[in-house]
Amino acid sequence: MDANVVTAVNSLTSRWAHTLAPGNTVISGLGLWPLLALLATAADEPGRTELGEAVGVDPSTAASQAVELIGALDETADLHAALGLWVHQQLKLSESFGEVLPTELTGTLVGDPSVDKANLDAWVADHTNGLIREMPLELTPDLVLVLASALSLQTTWARPFREQIKHVHEGDWAGSWHWLDRTDSDLDALRVHDDPVAGALTVVTVAGDADVDVVLAVASPEAPQADVLSALLAAIADPEGGRPGSALLRQAEQGQQVAPAVTLAQTTAPAPDLTLALPSFSVSADHDLLALRSLFGLTAVTTDPGDQGHFSAISPDPLAVGQANQSVLARFHATGFEAAAITAIGMTRAAALRPSSPRLAVALTQPFAFTAVHRPTGLPVVTGWIQTPTEPE
C-alpha cells in the first residue's frame, strides 16, 4: 500500500479527531479520504487545489490512489471496503467522466426518492454486514450524483477476554458495567509514548486473530480528549516508538504507578505477564461533514458557481456538493471487535443550490371582488363580488 496515502489518511483523521467535542464518538477518516480524493481529481479550480490540500496528494493521481486503496483494503482478511457511485439517469456526462470516476462502479438514480433510497440502503446493508442499514443522505428529487464508501470489519481476539459485571461506586463511571479482563504473556503489547502535547501516553495493542488489531490509549485525566486522540494516531504511525512494557517492568517498583493506568503488581504465574481490564463498549455517531467543510477541502465546491459548475469533468451541467455525511459505529466485546462506516457525498445541479428569488403569494381566503375587462378599451365587461365560495356548475 502506498506509504504516502497511509500518511495522508492518518493526517486527515488526526485533524478531524482534534475537532471533536468531548464525549463518546467515533469517526472514520479512512472512509472519507477516498471520496475526497475522487472529488479532487474531478474538481475544477479552485476546488481542485483545496481538495488536493485536504487529501495530501496530487489531485491528478488522487482518484486512482483512492481506487487502489479501497481495493487493497478489501483484500485483507477481516476488512471489507467498497466504493459506490450512482448517477441520475437524466444527467449529461462529460466525455472525461470515465477518466476521473470509476465507471465500473456506476449505478443509476431514477429520481424517485423512495426507489433510490431502497437501492442505496440495500447497498449499505450489503457492504456493512447489516451493521448500518441506511445511506446517510437525504434522497431528494434534485440529487443527481452520489459517491459513497463502505467499510466494515469483524475480528476475533487472538486471546479472548473474560466478561463479568463490575460495580463502580464513585466517580464519573459510577454504576454497573459489563467489564472485560484478560492476561497476556506479551509484555510489549504495552508501550508508553511521551507525546509533546498529551504527555505520557499508555498504548495497549489488542491483537486480532487475522490482520486487524485494536489499539487503546490513555493519558493523564487532565489531558484533553483531542490531544489524546492525536497522540494515539501519532503512536500508531510509530509502532516501535516509546518504551515497551518489558522495559517498564525492569524500572518499576512494587505498587508504583509506572504510566497512566499502569501499576506494577504481583502475579503467582511462573513468568511476568500483562493484564488488561476495560468496559465493553458500543458507540455510534452521525457526522455532518459540511459542518467542517474547510477542514475537508469542501468550501469551494459547495458554493454557487453560477453556470459553469465545479465538476465540468463529470458533467457539462453545473454541479456542486450539496450533502456530505458519515454514519459509523464500533463495538468492543469479549470475543472480538466489529465496526462499520458509511460515508456519502451527494451532488446537485448548482442551480438547485442558488438562493430562491422573492415570491409574492396571494391566497384569497376572504370575500373579494372581480371584474372582466375589455383589454383594448379598458371597459369592465362584468364586475362582481364573491362573498362565499361557490360550487362549480
Q: Is residue 128 part of a domain?
A: yes
Instruction: Looking at the structure, tell me whether residues 139 and 56 fall in a common domain.
Output: yes
Instruction: Looking at the structure, tell me whether residues 13 and 91 fall in a common domain.
Output: yes
User: Strand 199-206 to strand 162-168: parallel, antiparallel, or no bridges (unpaired)?
Assistant: unpaired
Packed helices 3-17 and 29-42: angle between N→C axes, nearest 10 degrees: 110
Instruction: Looking at the structure, tell me whether residues 208 and 304 fall in a common domain.
Output: no
Instruction: Looking at the structure, tell me whether residues 128 and 101 fall in a common domain.
Output: yes
Domain boundary, last residue among 272, 300, 334: 272
**Cα–Cα distance, 243 to 273 (Å, whole number):** 16
Alpha-carbon distances, residue 166 vs 199, 263, 266 (angstroms): 29, 19, 21
Instruction: Looking at the structure, tell me whether residues 12 and 40 fall in a common domain.
Output: yes
Instruction: Looking at the structure, tell me whether residues 229 and 301 fall in a common domain.
Output: no
Packed helices 47-55 and 3-17: angle between N→C axes, nearest 10 degrees: 90
Q: Is residue 88 part of a domain?
A: yes
The distance between the two most distant Cα atoms of the chain, rounded to a whole number of Å, is 113
| Tally of structural domains, the chain | 2
Domain boundary, last residue among 251, 272, 293: 272
Alpha-carbon distances, residue 201 vs 25, 143, 205, 220, 244 (angstroms): 20, 45, 13, 8, 12
Packed helices 47-55 and 29-42: angle between N→C axes, nearest 10 degrees: 150
pLDDT at 202: 92
Instruction: Looking at the structure, tell me whether residues 149 and 21 fall in a common domain.
Output: yes
Give the cell for residue 388.
362565499
Q: Is residue 127 part of a domain?
A: yes
Instruction: Looking at the structure, tell me whether residues 267 and 297 fall in a common domain.
Output: no
Whether 236 contacts 215, CB under 8 Å = yes
Kindly report the backbone phi and psi dihedral angles of residue 290, in degrees, each rounded to the nearest multiple of 5, phi listed first.
-75, -15
Instruction: Looking at the structure, tell me whether residues 86 and 7 fall in a common domain.
Output: yes
Q: Is residue 22 part of a domain?
A: yes
Whether 160 contacts 335, CB under 8 Å = yes
**Cα–Cα distance, 266 to 79 (Å, whole number):** 38
Instruction: Looking at the structure, tell me whether residues 296 and 267 fall in a common domain.
Output: no
Q: Is residue 393 part of a domain?
A: no
Domain that holds residue 239: 186-272
Instruction: Looking at the structure, tell me whether residues 11 and 146 fall in a common domain.
Output: yes
Q: Is residue 175 part of a domain?
A: no
Q: What is the 3-state secondary structure (H, E, C) of the chain?
A: CCHHHHHHHHHHHHHHHCCCCCCCCCCCHHHHHHHHHHHHHHCCCCHHHHHHHHHCCCHHHHHHHHHHHHHHHHCCCCEEEEEEEEEECCCCCCCCHHHHCCHHHEEEECCCHHHHHHHHHHHHHHHCCCCCCCCCCCCCCCEEEEEEEEEEEEEEECCCCEEEEEEECCCCCCEEEEEEEEEECCHHHEEEEEECCCEEEEEEEECECCCCCEEEEECCCCCCHHHHHHHHHHHHCCCCCCEEHHHHHHHCCCCCEEECCEECCCCCCCCCCEEEEEECEEEEEEEEHHHHCCCCCCCHHHCCCCCCCCCCCCCCCCEEEEEEEEEEEEEECCCEEEEEEEEEEEEEEHHHHCCCCCCCCCCCCCCEEEEEEECCCCEEEEEEEECCCCCCC
pLDDT at 382: 45
Instruction: Looking at the structure, tell me whether residues 257 and 295 fall in a common domain.
Output: no
| Residue 112 CB coordination number (10 Å) | 11
Whether 342 contacts 128, CB under 8 Å = yes
Residue 44 belongs to a domain with what CATH number? 3.30.497.10
Q: Is residue 162 part of a domain?
A: no
Partner residues linked to 267 by β-bridges: none
- pLDDT < 50 stretches in the chain: 353-354, 373, 382, 391-393
Q: Is residue 150 part of a domain?
A: yes
Alpha-carbon distances, residue 349 vs 103, 117, 345 (angstroms): 20, 19, 14
Kindly report the backbone phi and psi dihedral angles of residue 38, in degrees, each rounded to the nearest multiple of 5, phi listed first.
-60, -45
